[in-house]
Structure formats: structure tokens, C-alpha cells
Amino acid sequence: MGVSLNGKAVAENLRNEIRKSIEVKKANGEKVPCMANILVGNDGGSLHYVNNQNKVCADLGIEVKSIYLDEKITEEEITKVICDLNNDNNINGIILQLPLPKHLDEAKITSLISFEKDIDGLNTVSVGKLYKGEKCFIPCTPRGIIELIKSTGEKIEGKHAVVIGRSNIVGKPVAQLLLNENATVTICHSRTDNLKEICSKADILVAAIGKPGFVTEEFVKENAIVIDVGTTAVNGKLAGDVCFDRVIEKASFVTPVPGGVGAMTTTMLLKNLCEGIE
């Protein structure tokens, strides 16, 4: 039987490192990083994420400025808010909670955030730099996935990694990060032929498709590392893309849902904030 890969424990270790670095800054009289999080409207999931960010920031000693905007805000008004934050030297990082109300152009507005402050890695410039291998903020969930894989002690280099899902938020960037770690990467999706066969040859399998219990033991190579990114509500509970109880009998490591990848996201956001772009 494999090991349940505890994202909460890995995240807590990283938070302890951040906390110590903040304490050193304070002791030396240096400026503490400050994050601005912007919430448009009252989406429950986004509000929960903002509240969690604020709670973790308070625990780590990071400053945070929360900006709550009306759901009916115009594009001109939100543009001004973001530009003001871009020009505010007291703000080191900006995150805009998604999704935005339908009348706002999400791609256009996220790209208004200054590249130097785009700690969520969604700006068009950030995305381009990621694929060119240049210094940039790495999207939080993909970065958390890489940290989890490394926490197993297994090398990524030379391994065959398969990513199920080609979204701009997870699938594509995590594939690029695995490639940067010298893995051989295959991206699969809804149109892929022989999906089960391809997945069953992966040393590292990342499932990010939003289909609860889709990945069974038949998709998994013996002793593979399986990362479950899925978070779908099923009967009031979160369910992953991986059939955990069956897959853990075959894999070496499997992330649970909840308590796996999701536990890493806020921590990676704040790690981005504290590291900054030089």
C-alpha cells in the first residue's frame, strides 16, 4: 500500500520557513511584504479563499490589504483600482479573485496587474515568461504540485510524467514545470486515444479534469506518484479525480482530497509574495 501525501504537513513546513524569514525582516527593521487581494462581488468560494489568505497572513506576520468591490463595478473603475495598486510602493503583490462577474473581461483585467506584482502568475507576460523559462511568478497550484512531488524524495528528472487536463490554470503550466525539471511529459485530454494505456505507463500522474473518481487503479503504474487536483462537490463533500482507496493500493504516493494539493495553494501564493521578482 502507498502513502497518503499530506499537503497540509508540507504546507506547514513551508509556512514555518516563511514565518522565520518575516521574523528576521522585522528584527532587522526591514519592510514586511504586503499583499493586496481584490474580491469583486460575493462569490462564496472566493470569499472563503480571501478569508483564508487573511488568516494565514496574520499567522505569518504578513501585511494584507483586502479590497471588496461591488459586483456591478465597471471595467473603467476596476482598472483604476488595479493601476493604483500597481503604483503603490507599499504593495508587493496583487491577487484578483476569480471568477469575475460575466460583464468583465477576465483575461484583459488580469493582465492589467503589473508583472512585478502578479503573485498568482496569471498576467499574459507572466505566462509568456514561464514558457520561455524566464524569471516570473509561478502559478500557485502548479507550483504546489511540484513541491508535493519533491517532498516524496523521489527525483523528477528522467521520469515519465502524464498530465490529464490541458487548462491554462493547471494542466499546461504544471506540464511546463515538469518539463523544466527534466521529466518527459505527456499531456492528455478528452480527445486522447488510449488514455488509460498512456496513463498506466506514467511514473508521475497528475489528474486535473474535474471528474470525480475518474482515475482508477487501471490508470496507474505500480509505485507511481499520483497527484489529484480535482475538487468537485459531491453530496456536500469534496471529491477528487482519483479513486483514492483503490489507487493507493497500487501507487507509492497519492494526494488525498481534501488535504492534498488544495492545502498548498495559499502557502505558495505567499511564498511567491515573499520571494518577489528581482
167 is in an annotated binding site: yes
Q: In which band, very low, low, confident or very high, does the pLDDT at 43 lie, cut at 50, 70 and 90?
A: confident
Rounded to 10 degrees, what is the CA torsion of 244, 246, 249, 253? -20
Same CATH fold assignment for domains 29-114 and 140-263: yes
Q: How high is the pLDDT of residue 193?
A: 97
For the segment 171-180, what is each residue's pLDDT rounded down to a tens digit? 999 999 999 9
Residue 45 pLDDT greater than 90, yes or no: no
For the segment 111-134, what is each residue's pLDDT rounded down to a tens digit? 999 999 999 998 999 999 999 989
184/18 Cα distance (integer angstroms):
32
**Residue 257 in contact with residue 230, Cβ under 8 Å?**
yes
165 is in an annotated binding site: yes
Residue 87 pLDDT greater than 80, yes or no: yes
Concatenated DSSP letters for 80-102? HHHHHHHT-TT--EEEE-SSPPT
140-263 fold = Rossmann fold (3.40.50)
For the segment 138-178, what is each residue's pLDDT rounded down to a tens digit? 999 999 999 999 999 999 999 999 999 999 999 999 999 99
pTM of the model: 0.93
For the segment 27-43, the average pLDDT, to the nearest whole number, is 95
Residue 267 pLDDT greater than 70, yes or no: yes
β 184-188/93-96 pair status: unpaired
29-114 fold = Rossmann fold (3.40.50)
Question: What is the helix (H) or strand (E) element at residue 3, kind and residue range?
Answer: strand 3-4
Sorted by where each begins, the domain ranges of the chain are: 29-114, 140-263
